[in-house]
Homo-oligomer: A and B are copies of this chain.
């Protein structure tokens, strides 16, 4: 969400074009940049329409804006080699002299095209005979390796679906498997929220009774089917053209989608039911793809490092990093992976929902009216809200800024205590609080404040993440300055002010240019695995070979965590 809403005046999305062609600079860009800068390729991302694949450099100061362009860029280098491919067939119709069964006729034709041993997905048989007759014995077949998964009308576009099932949000990408083009994408809320805000409460709900577990599954599948219907209708295609879906999510979302038990995820030793990649007919879970369509789930690494994180590793190319690199996907649960010398170390941190605005007195989700950025120079406090609406509360990136700025201005001490000398600090029912926005300026007519307890929530969250980073560095024998790439994934991570994050100690001090904020890398990784068999295999290999570090039993974890609480 940029401050100017894409009008080209806030300068928050400056990029430098390194390769490729874009349309000429707009008026807004000519106002912003000098001739030299334009010559060097500087552009405003919000004003620039690429006319080819492009490579862009993102200056650190642009990194608090949404990195949509960057996200798309990650998937570009993949060579198109989807698991599902199209084959066009014309069959000789049966006669009384040639009474071969329909499947036999199909098999014989496929054998002539060098596919001698095709397995026909069972659910496809329900419609195959009627379809062949309706289409006058012509068809475009979708073969997933040696499995026939869809029978389409001649010339129909063959499609794939990539999905990231987040605890809160779903992201879906409809992809043309013949060209690799993303023809539509959309987001939706995860309807399971009705049964529990976070993973733990949903596991508790699912555990009560198998019917409830199935309800969590069916509500999710229903939402995915609705999302697929939207994606298809906006592009003039049909869900039955979708032959394959690659789906990622954290381990709990993965399990709930596939109908797997989650009880064991909630108790030590936090074991997933399944870690390897899964492949099964979409009909098994009720996902409305082509009748024989296949669902593939990327592998999980551990109970709290799921397929979505594997997708992040895939999309960010962490697995092949030539210099030490770290990827951090911040959420209620934060997954971190460190790559060094071809080895990967991963861990999971219980960071809690504070960065999503929960458990914060005036916290809110990143919705219009949320304070997303705060600057304080002594008494001068500048507030930026999403959609430039009157402030209604503070979302994660705003809270991070507030804590960092309060600390910088000496209003907070290193333990999180508020300095009562400051005129905006006042007593409240929960101890001292800092008055950020007076009631006259807010949307709801009440002061927006930050309490000592709010600060403490942020301390807990940042300590959890920082401890994870530090433990991985220690295990790998590295110092923070050895890490060449700091990749910050996920919605929150995309919007935070990196300087604030470093200032409060969420990240170790590192040059800002080493950071990349890559948005929904999980969705990009899913799309990549859909388009490229070798990417899928790499994901499998990554999940198999990664060194998972269990923090709860790591020696000195507790001391380290307490130390990381300091601001």
Q: How far is the CB of A218 from chain B (nearest CB, A)?
A: 13
State whether A274 and B100 are in contact (beta carbons under 8 Å apart), knowing that A133-B264, A269-B94 are contacts in the complex.
Answer: no
* Contact residues of A: prevailing secondary structure: mixed
Q: How far is the CB of A351 from chain B (nearest CB, A)?
A: 20
**A/B interface sample: 21 pairs, CB < 8 A:** A94-B271, A96-B553, A97-B553, A99-B303, A100-B271, A101-B274, A101-B300, A102-B273, A102-B274, A104-B276, A107-B276, A122-B281, A123-B284, A125-B258, A125-B273, A125-B274, A126-B260, A126-B261, A127-B261, A129-B261, A130-B261
Task: Kindly list chain B residues whose C-beta atoms are within 8 Å of the C-beta of A258.
Answer: 125
Within 8 A of B (CB), among A248-276: 258-261, 263-264, 268-276
Contact indicator per residue, chain A 287-310, by CB within 8 Å of chain B (1) or not (0): 000000000000010110000000
Count identical subunits in the complex: 2
In the bound complex, CA of A97 to CA of B550 (Å): 8
Identify which of B99, B127, B260 contacts A125 (C-beta below 8 A): B260
State whether A275 and B101 are in contact (beta carbons under 8 Å apart), knowing that A96-B269, A269-B94 are contacts in the complex.
Answer: yes
**A33 part of interface (Cβ distance < 8 Å):** no
Q: How far is the CB of A557 from chain B (nearest CB, A)?
A: 12
Q: How far is the CB of A406 from chain B (nearest CB, A)?
A: 38
CB–CB A102/B272 < 8 A: yes
State whether A268 and B96 are in contact (beta carbons under 8 Å apart), knowing that A129-B260, A259-B126, A263-B129 are contacts in the complex.
Answer: yes
Q: In the complex, what residue of chain B is closest to A284 when comparing beta carbons?
A: B122
Q: In the complex, what residue of chain B is closest to A122 when comparing beta carbons?
A: B280
CB–CB A102/B276 < 8 A: no
In the bound complex, CA of A417 to CA of B126 (Å): 49
Given A98-B269, A122-B278, 17 more A-B residue pairs with CB atoms under 8 Å apart are A96-B270, A96-B552, A96-B553, A97-B550, A99-B548, A99-B550, A101-B273, A101-B274, A101-B276, A102-B272, A102-B274, A104-B275, A125-B259, A128-B261, A130-B261, A130-B263, A133-B264
Q: How far is the CB of A75 from chain B (nearest CB, A)?
A: 28
State whether A275 and B103 are in contact (beta carbons under 8 Å apart), knowing that A122-B284, A261-B129, A284-B123 are contacts in the complex.
Answer: yes
Within 8 A of B (CB), among A112-141: 122-123, 125-130, 133
Within 8 A of B (CB), among A548-567: 548, 550, 552-553
In the bound complex, CA of A129 to CA of B264 (Å): 8
Q: In the complex, what residue of chain B is closest to A107 when comparing beta carbons?
A: B276
In the bound complex, CA of A96 to CA of B271 (Å): 9
In the bound complex, CA of A95 to CA of B98 (Å): 62
In the bound complex, CA of A104 to CA of B269 (Å): 15
In the bound complex, CA of A222 to CA of B273 (Å): 31
Within 8 A of B (CB), among A510-567: 548, 550, 552-553
Q: In the complex, what residue of chain B is closest to A302 when comparing beta carbons?
A: B99
Task: Kindly list chain B residues whose C-beta atoms are within 8 Å of the C-beta of A130.
Answer: 261, 263
Task: Kindly list chain B residues whose C-beta atoms are within 8 Å of the C-beta of A264.
Answer: 102, 129, 133
In the bound complex, CA of A552 to CA of B99 (Å): 13
Q: How far is the CB of A228 from chain B (nearest CB, A)?
A: 21
Q: How far is the CB of A549 from chain B (nearest CB, A)?
A: 11
Q: In the complex, what residue of chain B is closest to A272 when comparing beta carbons?
A: B101
State whether A128 and B271 are in contact (beta carbons under 8 Å apart), knowing that A96-B552, A133-B264 are contacts in the complex.
Answer: no
In the bound complex, CA of A520 to CA of B329 (Å): 64
CB–CB B99/A269 < 8 A: yes
CB–CB A269/B95 < 8 A: yes
Q: How far is the CB of A475 from chain B (nearest CB, A)?
A: 15
Task: Kindly list chain B residues whose C-beta atoms are within 8 Å of the C-beta of A122.
Answer: 278, 280-281, 284
CB–CB B274/A103 < 8 A: yes
Task: Kindly list chain B residues whose C-beta atoms are within 8 Å of the C-beta of A107.
Answer: 276
State whether A102 and B271 are in contact (beta carbons under 8 Å apart), knowing that A259-B126, A284-B122 are contacts in the complex.
Answer: yes
Q: How far is the CB of A545 from chain B (nearest CB, A)?
A: 13
- Most B CB contacts (10 A, CB to CB) among A98, A99, A259, A275 go to A99
Task: Kindly list chain B residues whose C-beta atoms are within 8 Å of the C-beta of A128.
Answer: 261, 273
Task: Kindly list chain B residues whose C-beta atoms are within 8 Å of the C-beta of A133.
Answer: 264
Task: Kindly list chain B residues whose C-beta atoms are within 8 Å of the C-beta of A278.
Answer: 122, 125
Task: Kindly list chain B residues whose C-beta atoms are within 8 Å of the C-beta of A98.
Answer: 269
Q: In the complex, what residue of chain B is closest to A552 when comparing beta carbons?
A: B96
A-B pairs, top 6 by smallest CB distance, nearest first, are A101-B275, A122-B280, A129-B273, A101-B272, A129-B261, A96-B269
Q: In the complex, what residue of chain B is closest to A123 when comparing beta carbons?
A: B284
In the bound complex, CA of A127 to CA of B258 (Å): 12
Q: How far is the CB of A213 from chain B (nearest CB, A)?
A: 9
